[in-house]
Amino acid sequence: NVGGSVPIMGAAITSILIYMSILLGRGLPPAHSRLLLGVGAVVTILFAEIAGFGLAAAFGVPLTDLSLMIVFIVVGVGVDDAIVLVGFLRAEDPSMPVEARVPAALGRAGSAIFLTSFTNLLAFLVASLVDFPGVRWFCICAGLVVFVLFILTTTLFTALLVFDERRAVAARWDCCACCGGPCTSPWCKV
């Protein structure tokens, strides 16, 4: 029964996403937090699922109860990609400008993200050759969603990472970017 498992799946995915947001950020002060970047990763994953399922529907691939498991797979792959990319960004020299650090981090993390996505895609496409229609449809749909996730991670999430890194360099707060930063008010000099 899929309907009864939806709340449990929602709680599991929410806990994974909270864990990712904690892992991405460095906590307090708010300038070092990456909560909004975690939200950006969630949005990237949701867009990938929507676009992947849309492509599957456009290709005439029916969705089954088994297709619901794709959500877990994509959340896992998407969270892993986000954590790997942010981890490689942290390893870059902080004295370099953001415009140089992010491409360098993507260049190093891109091979890991590509390898993960490509092997998942290849595994799903090979598994789609099975004679059981439900499994075939699941694998085709999962392959499409993983492919779209790779594209969105290397484009949309990377752009969000640039914005967030610029915010962090300017010492702006995470959830309120108009706050924080170096004080330029005359009151600071008193």
- Over residues 70-92, the pLDDT tens digits come to 888 898 899 899 989 988 998 88
**174 φ, ψ (degrees, to nearest 5):** -65, -60
Beta strands in 131-189 (DSSP E): none
**Rounded Cα–Cα distance for residues 59 and 76 (Å):** 25
**Rounded Cα–Cα distance for residues 94 and 29 (Å):** 18
State yes or no: pLDDT of 180 exceeds 70.
no
Query: For residue 187, what pLDDT is reported?
Result: 43
Please, which pLDDT band fits residue 25 given cuts at 50, 70 and 90?
low
The answer to whether the predicted template modeling score (pTM) of the entire model surpasses 0.85 is no
Query: For residue 31, what pLDDT is reported?
Result: 61
